[in-house]
Amino acid sequence: MPNTVSIYEPRTMMGVINKLPPVHTFFRSTFFSHEKTFVTEKVDVDYKKGSRKMAPFVSRIVGGQIVPNTGYHTETYTPPLIAPDKITTIDDILKRQAGENPYSGRTPAQRAVIKMAEDFKELREMITRREEWMCAQTMLTGKVEVVGKGVHDVIDFGFTNREDISTDAKKKWKGGTAQTKYEDLKRWHEHVQKTGFTNCNVCIMASDVATEFIKDKEIQAMLDVKNYELAVIKPTQKENNTTYLGTIHELGLDLYKYNEWYLDDFTDPTNPEDKPMVPDGTLVMASTSAQYSMYYGAITILNQKTEEFVTAEGKYLPDTFIKKRPDRRFLSMLSAPIPVPHEVDSWFVAKVM
């Protein structure tokens, strides 16, 4: 009799995960596309800090002058664990599934395979959505608040390039002049050039900020298509719930509106609400050439068969276990991601409204 492999074997479940289609994101895919996995639960992060120190003049007789090594420091983090579960009961595999032909003739074993694939797809989408939120929080606040069952922590990257002009009637964009808005972008762009040693080439605006910016008739005149050497405004729908608004050529800055939300069920669990990924009144200026990464710490689980702890390296780790009375099979996907901004001064956040 041929050997059969259970669909719940780790290698089988991992094969299903590897075949899942990618989930589209914006912050995650635009800035944190570089990925690295670790064999340890803790990860070491190198932060780069540039310098404008010039090479010294020296006498031809004296010779060279030693220049001290500068440029980076290392911090150690423990990436937070993400572990959503799905449950399969006897009813799930005995009864017809949603969308299944009543006369399909599927066996319980076939339904179990289909449900496992669908569950993994949903779990992976939830993890990817969490990764996108972590990347957005890193860019918008410079830190990630880890709030969940039995955990309340803050990962702080020491980001300081931010300004709030929303409370200043003369400076805020709502009702402000076009020249002020343009000069603000130019000033923040130059600030990152000075402190972050890079050129911001992307500006991500909240929906209300983009609306205020585009509807300004002076902005429209200033950025008219006829002034192509300065800029062009040409709103175009893109994937990932983004809208390309145009480009300010003088700054080499592409403008985007990001319309994406997440369910906040952790700030007030009794009153969950959808919140915009980019908060109202906010914009982010960043560089796609700066160094950002997505690190994944190793995950340790208990193997129910061997009753031994196993540590695995990878982005996602499938796991399964059963409970009796009532009989249930739990399907879990675990991940320990952490977004890493190696160049903390390479972007700018402004609250303008």
pLDDT digits (tens, 9 = 90+) for 17-68: 556 556 668 999 999 999 999 999 999 887 766 665 666 555 566 555 445 5
Least reliable range by pLDDT among 93-107, 205-219, 271-285:
93-107
> Could you tell me which residues come within 8 angstroms of residue 129 by beta carbon, excluding any fewer than 6 positions away?
23, 262
Structure confidence at residue 151 (pLDDT): 86
Structure confidence at residue 104 (pLDDT): 67
Question: Cα angle vertex 162, ends 160, 167, to 5°?
Answer: 135
Nearest to 258 by CA among 315, 212, 208: 208
> Could you tell me which residues come within 8 angstroms of residue 89 by beta carbon, excluding any fewer than 6 positions away?
326, 327, 328, 329
Under a CB-based contact definition with an 8 Å cutoff, are residues 305 and 45 in contact?
no
User: What is the rounded CA–CA span in Å between residue 330 and residue 341?
Assistant: 35
Fold matches, 10-52+70-154+294-330 and 160-292+343-351: no
- If you average pLDDT over residues 335-343, what whole number do you get? 94
Nearest to 313 by CA among 301, 305, 303: 301
User: What is the rounded CA–CA span in Å between residue 342 and residue 284?
Assistant: 17
CATH fold for domain 10-52+70-154+294-330 = putative capsid protein of prophage fold (3.15.30)
Nearest to 290 by CA among 159, 181, 177, 164: 159
Under a CB-based contact definition with an 8 Å cutoff, are residues 349 and 282 in contact?
yes
Beta strands at 308-312 and 337-341: parallel, antiparallel or unpaired: unpaired
Nearest to 209 by CA among 171, 257, 273, 169: 257
Better-scored residue on pLDDT, 324 or 34: 34
Around Cβ 298, how many Cβ atoms within 10 Å?
Answer: 18
Structure confidence at residue 209 (pLDDT): 96
Least reliable range by pLDDT among 63-77, 257-271, 280-294, 326-340:
63-77
- If you average pLDDT over residues 69-98, what whole number do you get? 74
DSSP letter for 227, please. Answer: G
Neighbour-count burial of 248, counting CB atoms closer than 10 A to its CB (0-12 exposed, 13-18 middle, 19+ buried): buried
Instruction: Report helix, strand and coil shares of the chain as percent, to nearest 5.
Output: 25, 30, 45
pTM: 0.83
Nearest to 131 by CA among 87, 86, 84: 84
DSSP letter for 233, please. Answer: E
Q: Provide the residue ranges of all domains of the chain, joining segments of one domain with +.
A: 10-52+70-154+294-330, 160-292+343-351
Under a CB-based contact definition with an 8 Å cutoff, are residues 226 and 298 in contact?
no
The tens digit of pLDDT for each residue in 196-238 reads 999 999 999 999 999 999 888 777 766 654 455 555 556 667 7
In this structure, which CATH number among 3.40.50.1100, 3.40.50.150, 3.30.1930.10, 3.90.550.10 belongs to the domain 160-292+343-351? 3.30.1930.10
Give the highest mean pLDDT range of 86-95, 134-143, 226-235. Answer: 134-143
User: What is the rounded CA–CA span in Å between residue 216 and residue 220?
Assistant: 6
Where does the pLDDT of residue 161 fall: very low under 50, low under 70, confident under 90, or very high at 90 and above? very high
Where does the pLDDT of residue 6 fall: very low under 50, low under 70, confident under 90, or very high at 90 and above? low
User: What is the rounded CA–CA span in Å between residue 313 and residue 124?
Assistant: 17
